[in-house]
Amino acid sequence: MTISSRPVGYGGIEQGSGRIRSITLETTIHGRGITQRTGRYTLTAPTLGEHGVRWAPASTDATRVHRPHRLAVAQ
């Protein structure tokens, strides 16, 4: 079985300032005898008074989510 994930969006950062408050990941699972399945989940930072992080299925609503920038790779 192979499990792979990649970031597809993040929330909380506004132009010039802010902090990352959520990261949305797309995860794919596949293997011999297993049909490939893909899902998106959002990891959300705790708000004031909360403890720990939350995982939730990614919503498809109009919430503003930024797409990650491609990172330069050192060679």
Q: What does the pLDDT read at residue 19?
A: 78
Q: What does the pLDDT read at residue 75?
A: 43
pLDDT (tens, 9 = 90+) of the chain, 75 residues, equals: 899 999 888 887 766 667 788 888 999 999 998 899 999 999 888 877 778 888 888 865 434 455 555 544 444
Q: What does the pLDDT read at residue 29?
A: 93
**DSSP count for the chain of H helices, then E strands:** 0, 4
| pTM (2 d.p.) | 0.63
DSSP class of 52: S
Q: What does the pLDDT read at residue 68?
A: 56
CA distance 61 to 51: 26
45 burial (CB, 10 Å; 0-12 / 13-18 / 19+) is middle
- Evaluate whether 23 touches 42 at the Cβ level (below 8 Å): yes
